Amino acid sequence: MMSLSKLKRWLAVGACAAAVALPAQAEKTYRLKMAETWPTNFPVFGDASRNMAAMAEKMSNGRLKITIDSKNKHKAPLGVFDMVRAGQYDMGHSASYYWKGKVPATLYFTTMPFGMTAPEQYSWFYHGGGMELMEKVYSKYNVLSFPGGNTGNQMGGWFQKEINSLEDLKGLKMRIPGFAGEVLAKLGASPTNIPAGELYTALERRTIDALEWVGPSLDLRMGFHKIAPYYYTGWHEPATELQFMINKRSWDRLPEDLQEILRVSIRTAAYDMYIQSYHESAKNLEIIENEFPNVKIRSFPEDVMAALRQANQDLLTEKAKEDPLAKEILESQANYLKTVRRWTDISDKAYLNSIAQ
């Protein structure tokens, strides 16, 4: 049996070894590479990824360093999911609906036409089962996905002509990508997708009759207000949520405290982007209205909205029939919307209606 003095010496040596070993372990630096879909220094969206990386580094006292490659560097803005999945990058900042061609159920984690507003959708993600469903979709690909910043309600777009009836949608050439484009196509419009850099010229030269981009937060710098007189309110992207992705192996390599720092940085950066978008939209709308009084803000007529809503519903029914996972997600969203919208109606909506002049 070890004598007491021996035991004391042994413990002291052990404690000393631990004292030496622990700080070395604690100071190990973890480096992650992130690919973003956006160009270098892209406002708002790019601010969110930079904010996230800066917060993570500061909170970890420099132990977690995230470098960001913009699309100018990696040249694959719509390849971010594949690059993260393959481990070529540890992380990505993008939007889930870009992957619907590869994994159809990823469509539902960005925004849906006639769907939830940003606060409603955040509630669904974090308290209504959304995160669990997103995990169900992404875990098959060895990827973790988190909400990555919200644009808020997007505008319905810039139009050369006023939309007075369903007839005006027939043959309308509009840049409107994704699911909303499919909805419009059902009503006889011709949706197209055109790269951002070519949008202004396409609208100016009437190659297209209309386009949607984001909202005043990002539309102002594109200059569309100078060349199209009608700015329509939205229906198609009520709460566009970006996405942070992490390769599961890269995540598992991090110690628990850095995982938590990363999780908190992501959640904070997402919230910051939502309020930054709100601020930028408010400020830029004021500029558009003050400096370009000829811009007319309109909402689509009731019958057009009713037809869009019906076309949307028909398409969702088709998607649910094709894929049981889509059905599960759509049912979760529809059920949650029923509960949460009732609250929105008698809180924010009732408040705004009751104080209206």
Where along the sequence are the contacts to Ca ion (CB under 5 A)? 154
Q: Which residues contact 206 (CB under 8 A, 6 or more apart)?
A: 160
The least distance separating Ca ion from the CB of residue 252, rounded to whole angstroms, comes to 34
CA distance 274 to 291: 26
Q: CA 218 → CA 20, 65, 283, 287, distances in Å?
A: 52, 29, 11, 13
Asked whether 159 and 209 are in contact (CB, 8 A), the reply is: yes
Residue with tokens 């992207």: 237
The least distance separating Ca ion from the CB of residue 151, rounded to whole angstroms, comes to 8
The least distance separating Ca ion from the CB of residue 267, rounded to whole angstroms, comes to 23
The least distance separating Ca ion from the CB of residue 155, rounded to whole angstroms, comes to 8
The least distance separating Ca ion from the CB of residue 154, rounded to whole angstroms, comes to 5
- Which CB, 90 or 237, lies closer to Ca ion? 237
Residue with tokens 């004391």: 8
Question: Does residue 61 come out as left (phi exceeding 0), alpha (psi in the -120 to 50 range) or beta?
Answer: left
- Which CB, 128 or 149, lies closer to Ca ion? 149
- Which CB, 154 or 277, lies closer to Ca ion? 154
- Which CB, 123 or 154, lies closer to Ca ion? 154
First to last CA, the chain: 88
Residue with tokens 């009084």: 293
- Which CB, 154 or 281, lies closer to Ca ion? 154
CA distance 277 to 217: 6
The least distance separating Ca ion from the CB of residue 177, rounded to whole angstroms, comes to 7
- Which CB, 128 or 181, lies closer to Ca ion? 181
Q: CA 344 → CA 149, 337, 339, 340, distances in Å?
A: 21, 10, 9, 6
- Which CB, 124 or 213, lies closer to Ca ion? 213
Q: Which residues contact 37 (CB under 8 A, 6 or more apart)?
A: 45, 71, 77, 78, 80, 92, 93, 94, 95, 98
Residue 66, classed as helix, strand or coil, is strand
- Which CB, 217 or 333, lies closer to Ca ion? 217
Q: Is 237 exposed, middle or buried (0-12, 13-18, 19+ CB in 10 A)?
A: buried
The least distance separating Ca ion from the CB of residue 33, rounded to whole angstroms, comes to 28
The least distance separating Ca ion from the CB of residue 237, rounded to whole angstroms, comes to 5
Element (H, E) at 284: helix 256-291
